[in-house]
Structure 1
Amino acid sequence: MNDLVAALANVVGAQYVMHDSASMAPYLTDWRGRYTGRAMAVVRPGSTQETADIVRICASAHVSMVPQGGNTGLCGGATPLPDGGSVLVSMARMNRIRTVDAANNALVAEAGCTLAAVQQAAEGGDRLFPLSLASEGSCLVGGNISTNAGGVQVLRYGNMRELVLGVEVVLPDGRVWNGLRSLRKDNTGYDLKQLFIGAEGTLGIVTAAALKLFPRPQATATAWVAVPDARAAVDLLSLLRDRCGERATAFELVGRSALDLVLKHIPAMRAPLAGAHDWHVLVELADAFDGEALDGMLERTIAAAIDSGLAVDAAVAASIAQARAFWALRENISEAQKIEGVSIKHDISVPVSAIPDFLQQTQQALMALWPDVRIVAFGHLGDGNLHYNLSKPGAVDNAEFVARTQDVNRIVHDRVAALNGSISAEHGIGQLKREENARYKSEVELDLMRTVKRALDPHGLMNPGKVV
């Protein structure tokens, strides 16, 4: 190991190689605290060439590598295994915006740029990079690409897969593929970049990406709406899109339990509406024209929804500060859950039209076995993605319940599969869902995935124990 550490230090400098327990510790436990691994060393390259040299050194020594971005993932995909046989490659130093091409609506960012930095660079060119996550101040672009991140504006702009024009990747043998073409049309064979989007670092290390930009909206309108049930929320989404078209950028569902946890644990949070409502939606419109017109469009749509029984109460944000307060309620749900304690988490997607059936049928099945289960359901109803998290209020009861995770997963994931859904909508597979993925993927799909893995990484050195 000393020879390996010395070789890595020769590439990046001794100050960017860590191999003592204390300095490596922050990199070895995932954000949720669920997974803690071990590593031979943590190395922090500052360029594509340094990354390639690291990969060649590790490959020559038959040492596996674990790429890591901001370490904000929820499935243990960026955490090394407990065997301690890997080198963790942190991409945080590769944090430069290489180019902003406003005329081409594109920019090139290195993998270690935070999502917030990319958003700011786009704004500096009077453009929008629309990916938006609660962790955008700390998650990194390379991780966003490797997990095919989604977030709150997929409804209008799509997930990360649809926002990537090209990638630069260090392959498992140390070669660099420069696919940083900022083109909308390139019909010259296989779209190779798609192999690395959502691959969680199992096929190579993404070092930079060409990302798609959009005209920057000049006005937004935001509302917090109480709805009688999930079916009404789906119908309200249809009404909103019929009346407002592509101006609808976000449509977030928030269950009462989720809101209650935020109000309980996050300081200075206030409920937007009087009274208790089982379901809420957070709606946002965006467009290039003036805010008063957009507010009027949203207000008229909500009024029509109330008249038809699709909504029971609503508050339209009267200021940017109030809109941010609404969004803070939504964005702090995960943090509030973390404070409350361990829960059994699911990141599922089903067709939007099937969300009410999923919620009703899954709740009935769970409560038949655990009548006091607490269901914290929230997420991106506009694209069919729900975060469906389960716990019990008492710590002792909850510990016993969490021990039944496999039984709980079977109920939730079987219902998802029956509705032609996915057990991982935007968080990836990582370590958490590797076995579950094998249960629900067809043998043909699994064989194709393994074939790709063997072709690009025949020695299994890239992020072992994840995805496949």
Structure 2
Amino acid sequence: MTDTRSDLLDILTASLGAQQVIRDPDAMESYLVEERRLYRGAALAVVRPGSTEEVALVVRECAKAGVAIVPQGGNTGLVGGGVPYDGIVLSLARLDRIREVDAFNATITVEAGCILKAVQDEAEKVDCLFPLSLASEGSCRIGGNIATNAGGVNVLRYGNTRDLVLGLEVVLADGRIWNGLKGLRKDNMGYDLKNLFVGSEGTLGIVTAAVLTLFPRPKSRTVAFIGCASPHATLDLFDRLRRRTGDQLTAFEFMPRFALEIVLKHAAGAVPPLGGWHEAYALIELSSPDPAIDLRERIEAVLSEALEAGIVEDAVIAASEAQGEALWHLRESLSHVQRLEGGSIKHDVAVPVSKVADFIVTATRACEEALPGVRVCAFGHFGDGNIHFNLSQPVAMEKAAFLAQWERFNRIVHDIVHDMNGSISAEHGVGLIKRDELVLYKDPVALDLMRTLKSALDPQNILNPGKVLTLEAELPPALP
């Protein structure tokens, strides 16, 4: 370690306390490995500031020393965006205060280290809803949700994280603090700065707090599980429901037969929702803040018409809250159980909603032709065009040999997405795993603008270097 780096750690230890500057390799281990364990990084130390002012101090000192900073929340990311190189891991876990709840303005102001579930619970205390909902909501943190513009199951009704953020507090690369914590729906005082930082994966600034939008808490809810003959029939059902129920349609999740098969095989407590098997399934939720609205009657009317038209083959509507949770359990178990089927090559993509069925059929056929026996698990948020197009290894194939074909399948899947005017990164971010892919599919002018913004806001390239963009004098990638 150079004298400059050693001096930096001494300054941070003196300023924050020895307990908040972790140098022990064993204690640092969980901060160095990302969720999928595709990458393992290295760091000088893990630093745990307890306030925005302490975050600013850390950034200023790192800027003076020329040491990189990798912000981390719950470290639940799926693209390697929180993997450090050799600089400082800046954990925001101690910034976990709820600063203000304004039920009348329908806003909540929280610090970046707040766990998503805690924000949901705080909103519920004032009879409101914070609608962002993810599988990792018990451990992911708001700062990471904002940095990756997280999506989840409720985007159809409420939008992505970007749509839920009214204001931000951000520590810039030179240690200055931008206070943009305004709970305003209309604010045209110049450029919309907050949207530079939402989805930037910590490469432009470090989010330390946010003003988030709240909604009326649903008082009426209906969940249904539908069997269809194909993705195209499922898309037809979505169109009918959207036209008939409007924004009461909160979620519309798609699962293929293979997905349901492995959930029923591996997930504890999972029971078959329908009497027979179907090639495509939809999990549907309607909700309303008005308890007098009979949502079951509405969904029954649409499903009855769809059955007569041959769009729906079978359906079940939850008769209780517990049955609704049991149906959701089938969808929410999928990401976990897929790991139990061996190696998985994952793609988080989006296409226009009108093309999701075409994409699933076309990409499935192309992958099956490229590798006979590959098991396609294409599932996700049908209503907003986001499909998790995952591939499980053939039963008789070695895991390592299968995963070695990741780049080959990237070309197949991402080329189809690009041809359909879609995106190769829908809700997980770019991070490391899609950084080089971005160069192949992003508009060159857009890439130049992104590099211009990065250079202007972080001229030393110390904020999460090597993520999202490749710059000159780039640091080497984290170790696989």
For this structure pair, what is the TM-score category when the shorter chain's length is used for normalisation? over 0.9
Match of residue 62 from structure 1? 66
Once residues 445 and 166 of structure 1 are traced to their aligned partners in structure 2, the CA distance between those partners, rounded to angstroms, is 25
Report if the CA contact (8 A) 2:52-2:208 is conserved.
Answer: yes
Report if the CA contact (8 A) 1:228-1:310 is conserved.
Answer: yes
Match of residue 361 from structure 1? 362
Once residues 452 and 271 of structure 1 are traced to their aligned partners in structure 2, the CA distance between those partners, rounded to angstroms, is 51
| AA partner of residue 134 (structure 1) | A
Once residues 69 and 135 of structure 2 are traced to their aligned partners in structure 1, the CA distance between those partners, rounded to angstroms, is 28
**TM-score, reference length from structure 2:** 0.95
Match of residue 211 from structure 1? 212
Shift of 1:21: 0.9
Once residues 30 and 192 of structure 2 are traced to their aligned partners in structure 1, the CA distance between those partners, rounded to angstroms, is 36
Match of residue 414 from structure 1? 415
Q: Secondary structure at the match of 1:130?
A: coil
Match of residue 225 from structure 1? 226
Q: 1:355 to 1:338 in 2, by over 3 A?
A: same
Deviations, residues 308-350 of structure 1 (Å, cap 9, x unaligned):
1111111111111111111111112111123333211000000
Deviations, residues 288-316 of structure 1 (Å, cap 9, x unaligned):
23377111111221111111111111111
Shift of 1:393: 3.5
Q: Secondary structure at the match of 1:329?
A: helix
Once residues 388 and 22 of structure 1 are traced to their aligned partners in structure 2, the CA distance between those partners, rounded to angstroms, is 35
Once residues 11 and 277 of structure 1 are traced to their aligned partners in structure 2, the CA distance between those partners, rounded to angstroms, is 61
Q: How does 1:246-325 map to 2 (within 5 A)?
A: 246-290=247-291, 293-325=294-326
Match of 2:57 among 50, 53, 57: 53
| AA partner of residue 50 (structure 1) | E
Q: How does 1:81-120 map to 2 (within 5 A)?
A: 81=85, 85-120=86-121
Shift of 1:264: 2.1
| AA partner of residue 431 (structure 1) | L
Percent identity for Structure 1 against Structure 2: 55
Match of residue 10 from structure 2? 6
Match of residue 25 from structure 2? 21
Shift of 1:10: 2.0
Deviations, residues 43-84 of structure 1 (Å, cap 9, x unaligned):
111110110001111111100000011111110001113xxx
Match of residue 124 from structure 1? 125
Shift of 1:359: 1.3
Match of residue 372 from structure 2? 371
Report if the CA contact (8 A) 2:343-2:393 is conserved.
Answer: no
| AA partner of residue 433 (structure 1) | K
Q: How does 1:299-448 map to 2 (within 5 A)?
A: 299-394=300-395, 396-448=397-449
Report if the CA contact (8 A) 1:253-1:280 is conserved.
Answer: yes
Q: More deviation in 386-395 or 423-432?
A: 386-395
Q: Secondary structure at the match of 2:255?
A: strand
| AA partner of residue 105 (structure 1) | A
Q: Secondary structure at the match of 2:310?
A: coil
Q: Secondary structure at the match of 1:355?
A: helix
**TM-score, reference length from structure 1:** 0.97
Shift of 1:200: 0.2
Once residues 66 and 104 of structure 1 are traced to their aligned partners in structure 2, the CA distance between those partners, rounded to angstroms, is 34
Once residues 332 and 72 of structure 1 are traced to their aligned partners in structure 2, the CA distance between those partners, rounded to angstroms, is 17
Stretches of structure 2 lacking an aligned partner (at least 5 in a row)? 470-480
Q: Secondary structure at the match of 2:344?
A: coil
| AA partner of residue 438 (structure 2) | N
Deviations, residues 163-218 of structure 1 (Å, cap 9, x unaligned):
00000000000000010000000011100000000000000110000001111111
Q: Secondary structure at the match of 1:386?
A: strand
Once residues 298 and 13 of structure 1 are traced to their aligned partners in structure 2, the CA distance between those partners, rounded to angstroms, is 58
Shift of 1:395: 6.4
Report if the CA contact (8 A) 1:391-1:402 is conserved.
Answer: no
Deviations, residues 341-384 of structure 1 (Å, cap 9, x unaligned):
32110000001111121112112222222121110111000000
Q: 1:441 to 1:143 in 2, by over 3 A?
A: same
Q: More deviation in 237-246 or 290-299?
A: 290-299
Report if the CA contact (8 A) 1:373-1:390 is conserved.
Answer: yes
Once residues 127 and 369 of structure 1 are traced to their aligned partners in structure 2, the CA distance between those partners, rounded to angstroms, is 49
Once residues 293 and 207 of structure 1 are traced to their aligned partners in structure 2, the CA distance between those partners, rounded to angstroms, is 42
1:144 aligns with 2:148: no
Shift of 1:11: 2.3
| AA partner of residue 355 (structure 1) | V
Shift of 1:404: 1.2
Shift of 1:443: 1.0
Once residues 395 and 309 of structure 2 are traced to their aligned partners in structure 1, the CA distance between those partners, rounded to angstroms, is 40
| AA partner of residue 277 (structure 2) | A
RMSD of Structure 2 on Structure 1 (CA)? 1.2
Once residues 201 and 365 of structure 2 are traced to their aligned partners in structure 1, the CA distance between those partners, rounded to angstroms, is 35
Q: 1:11 to 1:268 in 2, by over 3 A?
A: same
| AA partner of residue 385 (structure 1) | N
Q: More deviation in 386-395 or 407-416?
A: 386-395
| AA partner of residue 402 (structure 1) | L
Report if the CA contact (8 A) 2:226-2:315 is conserved.
Answer: yes
Q: Secondary structure at the match of 2:272?
A: coil
Once residues 330 and 365 of structure 2 are traced to their aligned partners in structure 1, the CA distance between those partners, rounded to angstroms, is 27
| AA partner of residue 60 (structure 1) | K
Shift of 1:261: 2.0
